[in-house]
A and B are shown apart, each in its own frame.
Chain A
Amino acid sequence: MTAQADDELWSAIGDPSRRRVLDLLVSNGEVSASWLAGRVPFSRQAVSKHLVVLEEARLVSRRKQGREVLYQVEADRLDQATRAMAGLAAQWDRRLDVIKGLAEAAHEEAKVKRRR
């Protein structure tokens, strides 16, 4: 029951355009919305909307420098997302392992019974 709490986070990263914005922020450090808009195939308005969503999911933070607003990625939060994702995958691996054990044991037992 872990995913629900991070609804905002999953939604934020689930969008390919926002992943693109995040990608640019990760590889270029602190940049402005206009700089980002020059490097993506969507409008300046769309970039601003994506930045708002990313900020709400705490994946991105902003800072004013003179007349410019600069955005940067929140590495800790991104790291948290990576770990949560790996955790969910590991949880399913464990469950599948138990299913495998149970099914194989049941199958073995049935085979032994048939032989008797």
Chain B
Amino acid sequence: MAGLVIEREVLIEAPAEVVWRTITEPDQMSRWFADRVDLVVAPGAHGYMQFGDQGGPVVVESVDPPTRFSFRWNHPRQEEPAAGNSMLVEFTLTPEGDERTRLRVVESGHELRDWPDEEKQRYADEHRDGWAEFLQRLAGVLAQPSR
């Protein structure tokens, strides 16, 4: 995995089943994600999301209730989504007790399909020095008045 990687998480005071419904039911999705969501939550299903006057196709990857849900989006309209032309959004739900769930989201994409394996391995090795840290560090250096 290379390119853009964003990881965020939140602790929710509700059981995983409830969180699962919130993130997968189209009428709920339209409250936290797109303005309009046409989607059947099944692996391989093609759907559509509308954001204001813009919209785009979505393809469901994995559906594993109530722990894992992922989909691809942001791919060119005429193409099938795959690694390299789209963003993968992965939700992971981890119960912490009966009424608490840790919800984690990872958005990644723009993998370089033409990367040699050693480069990919090196990227994996250096993953701890991720992207966000890299940019923050550089931004810090750039912000210094004299360099």
Name A residues whose Cβ lies closer than 8 Å to a Cβ of B: 1, 3-4, 7, 10-11, 13-17, 19, 22-23, 26-27, 29, 75, 78-79, 81-82, 85, 88-89, 92-93, 95-100, 102-104, 106-107, 110
Contacts and interface: CB of A to CB of B under 8 A. Distances in A.
A106 B8 contact: no
Interface of B: 2-4, 6, 8-15, 18-19, 21-23, 28, 31-33, 51, 54, 56, 74, 87, 99, 101, 103, 105, 107, 109-112, 115, 119, 122-123, 126, 129, 131-132, 134-136, 138-139, 141-142, 147
Given A14-B131, A85-B6, A95-B32, 15 more contacts: A1-B54, A3-B74, A13-B134, A15-B2, A16-B122, A16-B129, A78-B139, A89-B8, A96-B8, A99-B22, A100-B103, A103-B12, A104-B14, A107-B13, A110-B18
Q: Is the interface of A mostly helix, strand, loop or mixed?
A: helix
A102 B22 contact: yes
A3 B110 contact: yes
A71 to B, nearest CB: 15
A96 B10 CA distance: 6
A85 B9 contact: no
Contacts of B12: 99-100, 103-104
B8 A15 contact: no
B13 A26 contact: no
Contact of B3 (A10, A93, A106): A10
A27 B141 contact: yes
A97 B129 CA distance: 27
A93 B9 CA distance: 8
Given A3-B74, A99-B32, A92 B105 contact: yes
Contact of B28 (A15, A19, A102, A110): A102
